[in-house]
Structure 1
């Protein structure tokens, strides 16, 4: 009986070694399993605290209803050449023009116009005769209801010399529109009407 168990043990051990020795390579990875169900949504976070209120800005200065007008930059390419009628004759001459529309310009108003030269504004009309070659440059303006018409023309010194109806650079203009009744007050106070700063300062300081 003991021999039988001993023989059976030997056979079992031999089979185990044989089976272990015959183990093959690892097989390929099996297909991925199906995606699992989506988990439940998390709870919303708590609201953040309100920010502090900003400080109020300071009040601006009151404007003056008597001061109307604007500052406008006219590019060299914006000028158009037109026929300008002569005075007292039927003849015309050409000039460059640029039109500014402004509903404040009426029959009851007066307009002061200026062109910026360097850092200052020069009153129009402005005529410059260059000492170097005698050539001239003229900048002027006219008004009609709802419009400020700006004019430009330059000419070389020679008689019948060539003319140009547009400047070579952009020009900055400023104009002020006031009621004619206020013009009397400016003249009575001796305000220099050809000074843009003097006119604006007076109008800002006097409210009617």
Structure 2
């Protein structure tokens, strides 16, 4: 479930699914804002027709819950209000989770591993070098790279209780598309531990030399 305005330009969603999500289930009008969800079918609902979702909720309870069906209007209202509060709280919590590490997610740095002490960064790029070299690539623009650097600082602090003193970016070949993806390396002062973040879990197999004993975990 999501807001249409947040996913309507999401290229990861197939075009036909995006069109279904942008068409109101009830009135068939094209919409750019509203609610949507994807299951076996992709469904969107506009603001004007959103009241019908309440009707559907009530009809479902009337048909599946005998005690609800026999309840007074006041009791039904109280139940619906309680359910509404629970769902609002859940949606707020989900929204906060989505906002956390949003730039790490934009660069798809889904996995990380602690790789011990590494002091050589010759083939990596500082944030300034990355911005200059990738200025023509929209998904690696200055805002995203700066935001990712800040996200990485907060993430490393959350797992080590120390902000990294060195953060560098590096290119990882994407053999499926003949291009490159960005990875990130971050180093802390305490015991010199170094962390690598990237979007391809199999990348860590290439650096799992004897003695490293890598444990790959998920950032999100």
TM-score normalised by structure 1 residue count: 0.25
Q: Per residue, is there more helix in 1 or in 2?
A: 2
CA radius of gyration, larger in: 1
Q: Per residue, is there more strand in 1 or in 2?
A: 1
| More RCO (CA 8 Å, sep 6+) | 1
